[in-house]
């Protein structure tokens, strides 16, 4: 049994992942995954960290990454051309939103290209609950690898008034293992369909 101790994660129950790198703390999972990609690490490697000290969102914005949140980067090697890669960011945000709604009954919406917002019923406003960040390397206009970074506010305490966690809305601690299982179960179906469609469009 392969495990990720700080989130009690059994890899055998996590669909589609070939390798997992578990960290207690790192500057960013994206930076770790980038080094792994450059070293030729296998596709579908997942980097998880309990805390990020320098988490970044789109356009270099800070992303709060305290204990209790979910911070991950997935290494992918899609067989597609570069112009279809932005679609994967939106697709991934949709899967995050659908997973949050399915598991916790929270209303969500997408702010394209890469943010997920949740409705806080007591505060009566939409607040950021997740962000997606993609980064790619290409050879001859084809993607040689792609990093899919996802941050989800599950149980972490947030300082920013514009952000919210699942726990803050529901009042209960939630399982990161459960979120990961549900997320990847849907993600791989959507990813395969996206990869197939992009190949068809580019041929």
pLDDT of residue 35: 94
Domains recognised in the chain with CATH numbers:
3-202 (3.30.930.10)
Ranges of residues in the chain with a pLDDT under 50 are: 1, 58-60
Q: How are beta strands 3-4 and 125-139 bridged, if at all?
A: unpaired
pLDDT of residue 85: 81
What distance in Å separates the CA atoms of residue 199 and residue 118, rounded to the nearest whole number?
33
- Structure tokens that stand for 62 in this block: 């800070």
pLDDT of residue 159: 86
What distance in Å separates the CA atoms of residue 153 and residue 129, rounded to the nearest whole number?
5
pLDDT of residue 179: 96
List, for residues 25-48, the tens digit of each pLDDT value.
999 999 999 999 999 988 999 999
- Structure tokens that stand for 35 in this block: 């080094």
């Amino acid at each position: 049994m392969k495990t990720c101790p700080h989130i009690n994660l059994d890899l055998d129950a996590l669909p589609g992942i070939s390798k997992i790198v578990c960290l207690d703390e790192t500057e960013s999972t994206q930076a770790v995954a980038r080094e792994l990609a450059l070293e030729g690490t296998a596709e579908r490697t997942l980097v998880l960290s309990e805390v990020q000290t320098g988490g970044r969102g789109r356009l270099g914005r800070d992303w709060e990454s305290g204990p209790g949140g979910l911070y991950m980067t997935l290494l992918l090697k899609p067989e597609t051309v570069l112009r279809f890669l932005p679609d994967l960011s939106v697709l991934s945000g949709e899967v995050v939103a659908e997973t949050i709604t399915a598991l916790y009954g929270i209303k969500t919406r997408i702010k394209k290209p890469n943010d997920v917002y949740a409705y806080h019923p007591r505060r009566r406003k939409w607040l950021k609950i997740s962000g997606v960040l993609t980064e790619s390397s290409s050879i001859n206009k084809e993607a040689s690898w792609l990093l899919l970074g996802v941050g989800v506010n599950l149980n972490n305490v947030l300082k920013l008034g514009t952000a919210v966690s699942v726990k803050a809305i529901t009042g209960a601690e939630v399982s990161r293992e459960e979120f990961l299982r549900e997320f990847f179960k849907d993600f791989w179906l959507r990813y395969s369909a996206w990869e197939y469609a992009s190949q068809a469009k580019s041929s």
